Each structure stands twice: as C-alpha cells, then as structure tokens.
A and B are shown apart, each in its own frame.
Chain A
C-alpha cells in the first residue's frame, strides 16, 4: 500500500514539529527515514498511524487493521516471556494454536532469540527485547509496518541479517518504513530514503541519489 503525504504539518502540544512535508512512500518497498534528533521522524510515523491527530495537509488514510507501528522505547510488558510476546503477534488470526506456535518459533529463530525464548521479556537485554519486538511486528504481517529505530541496540553483525530479513519481508508484498540513524544500513538495504532536518524534508530519493547528494563514499 502506497502512503502519500502532501503539505503535511504536525503540531504536538502547540509546538510545530513537521512543516509542509510532501513525500511518497512506495508500496512493497523498504523506505528509511533519516535525519538528526528532533527532526520529526517519529512524529510522522505517529501521524500515519493516527496516534497524533493534530495535523494538517493530506495523508493517506490506512485502515487500523492493516497497520502496525512499533514505537521506540516500548515498556516491556509485565510477566510475559519473549515467546509469549511474539506469539501475541498472531492474536486474532484464524490459526490453530500449534500453527501459531510453529510460526512463532520460526520467527524467533530468524530474529536470533530462539535460545532465550523462555526468558521473561522484562529481564531480557535491550537488544534481545528489540529482536523480540521485531519478531512480534513481523508476526502481525500487516500491509504497512512502521518501525521506529527497531535495531538501535542490536549488535552490528546481526543487524545486517535482520535488515536482510526486513527487505525479504517487503518482497512478500508489504510496505515497510524504518526510522533510523544507521545510515550505513539504510544505504545498503533501502529502496528509498527520506531525510528530514528541523521538521522539513531535505531529501527524497534512491540510495544512489542520496550518496551523490551527501557525497558519501561507498
């Protein structure tokens, strides 16, 4: 599903966070949103998912049931194990219990937390928690998935594998938006990059165009 924003301005508690942003997030692709702290990256995700309602301009309306937003710094849920959380990604899906469990275990393995699946979520390390949340989001398998710095605490070698996993996920007909500070990974795995600075869009295009514009040697 394609997401289009036109002249999007967002206010949070009376402060203008995003000004007149127009951009297109193509379907079945991985789009990275980059930019310095406080540039409005997360705010845009919250507007797309309608958690923030004080915005003006135009923004594609996405059915709540087709969308999953994974915010930053999620509170670990009380008394669930990592397996429980990932399994909840299948909540409400018409699947048999053992089918859900099978797919959960597959995802846990893919995200590299199979060995700690029975650990209490709150006691897992922040990297493990992020892997758990990622598996949870992928389990939902929504048309549009919005991830806010999903891998910031994950070690570098695994990060590559997980980005590859995300890219493969989009190839099954899903639209994925990742907010990240990890430009290196974004350049390797994104189909499109959007850069914000101070609430204004300063770049929108392919990774090659980004490298050219910001003269990064690859």
Chain B
C-alpha cells in the first residue's frame, strides 16, 4: 500500500514532466505528439526531450537513493551521501578533464571513465574508514574531506582548460538538460544490476548494524562487505554524475524519508530509498524546470535547498 502510493506519486510527476513545459503546448497537442505518428514539432519535443529527461531523472534519482542507503547501511552512519563524500566527485574530475579537452574519448568511454574514477574514490574511502572503531562522526569527517579534495581537483582542471560556464554549472550543480536516449541505455542496465546485487547483499546488513565486533562473531566480515558495498556505490554515483552532474543531498535524505514510510529492514530501505530518490529527483527537476520558466535552475540547487536544512536538523538530533 505504501509502495503503491509512492508509485502513484512518481506517475503523477511523470505526467507533469510530459505535459507541462516551456513549449506551452496545449493538452491536445501534447497528446497528439505522444500517441500519434506524424512529423510535428510536439512529437520531437515529447519523445526526444521530455520523455528521455523524465527517465534519466528517475534513474539518476534511483541511483543516488540506492547509493545513499548503501553507504548508510554499511557504515551504520546516518550521514552518508555519495556526492557529499566525493565519490561522485571522482567522476566529476574525469568529466572535467574531458571538458577541458585534456583527454578525448567516445560516449561509452566517457560513461566507463566516470564509473571507474568513482569506484576508485569509493574504494579509497572504504580503505580510509577500515578502522576498528569507525564512528559516524569519523566517517562524516573523512567523507567531507575527500569530497572537498575531489571538488578542488575538478575545478582546478576546469579553470585550466577554458570551459563554458554552463558546462561548469551543469557539472557541479547538476542538470538534466542534456538527457537523451543513449544515457538511458547506459543507465538502465547499471541500475538494474546494482539494485539486484544490493537486494542479494541486504541480509548481510543486519549483523553489520550491530557493529564490527559483533558482526564478525555472526560470521559476516564487515570490512569485506563494506568494500563490496562501496564498490557498488562507486558504480551508481559514477553513472549518475555521467548523466546529470553532481546532484547533492538526494543520497543523504532518501534513506531517512524511506525509513519513515516503508520501515527499517535493510531490504525495505534499499527498495524504498531507491524509489524515494527517484521521486525527489523528479520533483526537484520539475521545480528547476518550471519555477522560472523558460530559464532553468540547476537541479542540484533545488535538492540542496531541500536537503541541507534536513541535514542540519538530523545533525542536531544525532547523539
């Protein structure tokens, strides 16, 4: 029932995404474009701009929600976020070198490069936090330090090569304007593979939530599980940065909203957080797109305006 209401909300936002936009089409024109053949402009707008954008939004949101809940479950820290912790920053560095013209590869090369560089940062972070006494505070400090480092490297590279401001904003503040079908072909299998792996791993998060010492006595090696999980987080956030740049706070807030709606077992959190991630990203993109239409806000700005106060509230409540 709760999942159903989430799905309904997503469906509503999809309809908004299809039928409302700066092209100012009437409902009739939009329906014509959606369902009937023809060479009309509306058909192109709907099938090559609006629908791909909606799907990329959903997939990126799902990726981020899943990545966030995986960090939070595997580290027991309620403050995990892939982009805040520099894991998405790895991919951003790679994209920066491409924008600056330092390296040049094809579409698939860009996608693969993003994933690899994010996985490298994720594994590095996993090694950094592989101490016996990992506390939420320690993780947050390590993560934010790594995050700051990746952003600095990324922006240095960008300022080295002369890049257009819109490209920079798209990268560091997130944007769905360049969504197209190719992105979806890359993102969809990534999300499916990662979410299935996470669901298969989910039972291992029960012992891990008791802490490393007790987890080991229950036969689950916390370091190994955490490293595998971080690898998944790397793939997910690398793919999301490839598609939309750095969209902050979705990974951080989605698990907490999911907790309130679908309960607290790892399996529910994994599914719920992915759905909530997709939902909030869709919502944020509709706001970004329509608030000052035809001018667009960066979507990362919207998620941050919503997410940052939530994080402050949670930090204040943290023991």
Q: Chain A interface (Cβ within 8 Å of chain B)?
A: 49, 51, 64-65, 67-71, 74-75, 77-80, 85, 88-89, 91-92, 136, 140, 142
Which residues does chain B contribute within 8 Å of A71, judged by CB atoms?
213
Looking at chain A's contact residues, the main secondary structure is loop
- Residues on B lying within 8 angstroms of A by beta carbon are 76, 78, 132, 206-207, 209-211, 213-214, 216-220, 259, 264
Interface contact A140-B259, CB-CB below 8 Å: no
Chain A residue nearest in CB terms to B217:
A68
Q: A92 with B217: in contact, given A77-B211, A78-B78 (CB under 8 Å)?
A: no
Are A92 and B132 in touch, CB under 8 angstroms? no
Besides A49-B213, A68-B214, A70-B214, 15 other CB < 8 A contacts? A49-B217, A69-B217, A71-B213, A74-B211, A75-B76, A75-B211, A77-B210, A78-B78, A80-B264, A85-B210, A88-B210, A89-B218, A91-B206, A140-B218, A142-B217
Given A78-B76, A79-B264, A64 and B210 touching (CB < 8 A)? no
Given A92-B218, A140-B218, A51 and B209 contact (CB-CB distance below 8 Å): no
Say yes or no: A88-B206 contact (C-beta < 8 A), given A74-B211, A79-B264: yes
Q: With the chains together, A75 CA to B134 CA distance in Å?
A: 12
21 CB contacts below 8 A, A to B, read: A49-B217, A51-B132, A64-B219, A69-B213, A71-B213, A74-B211, A75-B76, A75-B211, A77-B76, A77-B209, A77-B211, A78-B76, A78-B209, A85-B210, A88-B218, A89-B218, A91-B206, A91-B220, A140-B217, A140-B218, A142-B217
Set of chain A residues within 8 Å of B220, measured between Cβ atoms: 91-92
Q: Which secondary structure characterizes the binding site on chain B? A: loop
Question: Can you list the 5 inter-chain pairs with the closest CB atoms, starting with the nearest?
Answer: A79-B264, A68-B217, A91-B218, A77-B209, A92-B219
Which residues on the A side are within 8 Å of B78 (C-beta)?
78
The residue on A at minimum CB distance from B219 is: A92
Looking at B207, B211, B217, B218, the one whose CB has the most chain A CB atoms below 10 A away is B217
